[in-house]
Amino acid sequence: MREQLQNLVDRLAAYNAATVVMDWDTSTGSAPEEAGEYTAKLLGILAGEAFALSTCDETVSLLKDCMAEPSDDEIEQAVVKRLWEDYEKTHAIPQREYQEFHELTSKGMRVWEKAKGTKDFSLFAPTLGKLIEKAKKIKGYQPKKDGLTLYDLMLDEYEKGFTTAELDRFFDGLKKELMPLVKAISEKQDEVRTDFLNRPCDVESQKAFNRLLAEYLGFDLKRGVIAESEHPFTTSLHNHDVRITSHYDENMVASAIFSTIHETGHALFEQNNSDEITMTPLSGGSCAVHESQSRMFENMIGRSEAFWEPLYPKFKEVFKGQFDDVSMEEFVRGINAAAPSLIRTESDELTYCFHIMIRYELEKMMFDGEVSVDELPKLWNQKYQEYLGVEQEDDGEGILQDVHWSGAMFGYFPSYALGNAIAAQLYHAMDKNVDVEKALRSGDLSPIRAYLREHIHQYGTMRETKKLLKDATGEEFNPDYYIQYLKAKYSKLYRL
């Protein structure tokens, strides 16, 4: 990359890294309790500085020079394109406003935590109202695109190329195909035994097993760390510093296991970004593709019998006789059980997409001005009743359960559902090239990692999702693989 451009990219990466570390400290409890407001101010300043750097005259003329005399280097071209797109999206926003927005999202997180702790949405409602208004205002500075709504622009922020029209089709298809299946399994709950999954398992043993699991999957602990937080997540400074968290509950041993597998799926993507793209705007991965990796590991790989064949004896050993009366077959059936429930992050593979659908429908209404903030909890509960037949006792297990809205991440949720569908499509393509089952039974996952590195991980966000998918699978985005996978799996498990 030409020197001046490299210098710009490095400086932006440094601002980003500082932000990541401060966020990490806050989320993992490494920062003191009262640091909040002071650190929020620093985060606001950093965001403002990065924004100023990306939009200043010097940067604009550098980018224009790079575009006038494009380099042969594919990565440089992609970096310039991304920086220019970001500039076009943000340069009209007054810096003061941009900084205020960041301070508000940082404050939003703290207000949400308090509201969630007391299970009281009314504590969060005024801040949520401000966040929605501010997010709309910020988007309003962006150049208008023909036929796209404000919510389409929000979606575009997280997953380029997927609009409301396409997502409506996608979710309608899932609703039509999967709702009957959800009803059918709800009526056959005795078919699968799950009681043993609630046996008390001490947290220290859980930590030991989860660490073993992350390494087994390929998480490189020399380039990564594992910590704890209320809500598990993955973050990274670059491909040599990737951090994941888990959350332990003595009576829910499977919860930490599958969140560790999930976050490790994200972490492998980050650690396997190529050295050429790490610490550039192309690092990481798009939201949906990132989620496709975590969900593929969590569900398609991590809940298969082949995966547990080499691991189950170790699991039994770590938990010292606790599961001696549970056969591997019973265990695998248990971890795949499905039942309509209230909490997205604890929900099974089959009902998961309904949790996303509900948020998607509400967000669309929020951005079209069809619903006021105060009406949201009632509407939320109605939709859970309608799609899943479950009822909330309070807002803590309802509308306050997820952190995203507190950070103004409206438009993010749909990428979770897209990620699941992309995972199924990619798994199908991978399985034609790699004997996945054999790799899992042998306990050597390196052929799987190598395939994913070659087709997905190395590129970060260099290729847009639709192109990445087409290059890897030879096909356009096709949610049928996801629907067929779920239908086949759950019909068999519940003998429908």
What is the closest distance, in whole angstroms, from the C-beta atom of residue 226 to Zn ion in the complex?
15
What is the closest distance, in whole angstroms, from the C-beta atom of residue 266 to Zn ion in the complex?
6
What is the closest distance, in whole angstroms, from the C-beta atom of residue 263 to Zn ion in the complex?
7
Which range in 140-148, 195-203, 294-302, 348-356 contacts Zn ion by CB under 5 A?
294-302
Query: For 91-202, where are the alpha helices, taking DSSP H only?
Result: 95-118, 121-140, 150-158, 164-186
What is the closest distance, in whole angstroms, from the C-beta atom of residue 324 to Zn ion in the complex?
33
By CB under 5 A, residue 294 contacts Zn ion: yes
Q: Which is nearer to Zn ion, 76 or 270 (CB)?
A: 270
What is the closest distance, in whole angstroms, from the C-beta atom of residue 291 to Zn ion in the complex?
5
By CB under 5 A, residue 293 contacts Zn ion: no
Given the structure tokens 């003595």, which residue do they identify?
250
Q: Which is nearer to Zn ion, 23 or 76 (CB)?
A: 23
Whether residue 386 lies in the annotated active site = no
Which range in 287-295, 302-310, 382-390, 440-448 contacts Zn ion by CB under 5 A?
287-295
From the CA atom positions of the chain, what is the Rg in Å? 23
Q: Which residues contact 257 (CB under 8 A, 6 or more apart)?
A: 209, 210, 213, 302
Distance CA(147)–CA(390), nearest Å, equals 37
By Cβ distance, which residue is nearest to Zn ion? 294
What is the closest distance, in whole angstroms, from the C-beta atom of residue 417 to Zn ion in the complex?
12
Q: Of all helices (H) and strands (E), which one includes residue 242?
A: strand 241-246
- If binding means CB under 5 A, how many residues of this protein chain bind Zn ion? 1
Q: Which is nearer to Zn ion, 45 or 227 (CB)?
A: 227
Q: Which is nearer to Zn ion, 266 or 489 (CB)?
A: 266
Q: Which is nearer to Zn ion, 142 or 294 (CB)?
A: 294
Distance CA(427)–CA(349), nearest Å, equals 15
Beta carbons within 10 angstroms of residue 43's beta carbon: 20
Given the structure tokens 């903030």, which residue do they identify?
373
List the structure tokens of 305.
Answer: 């019998």
Distances (CA, A) of 138 to 49, 86, 108, 436, 442: 17, 13, 16, 45, 52
Distance CA(401)–CA(172), nearest Å, equals 25
Which range in 36-44, 86-94, 137-145, 289-297 contacts Zn ion by CB under 5 A?
289-297
Picking from 286, 281, 367, the residue whose alpha carbon sits closest to that of residue 87 is: 281
Distance CA(266)–CA(235), nearest Å, equals 9
Which range in 61-69, 293-301, 328-336, 451-459 contacts Zn ion by CB under 5 A?
293-301
Given the structure tokens 């208008």, which residue do they identify?
144
Of 113, 159, 263, 291, catalytic = 263
By CB under 5 A, residue 465 contacts Zn ion: no
Q: Which residues are catalytic?
A: 263
Q: Would you tell me which residues interact with Zn ion (CB under 5 A)? A: 294
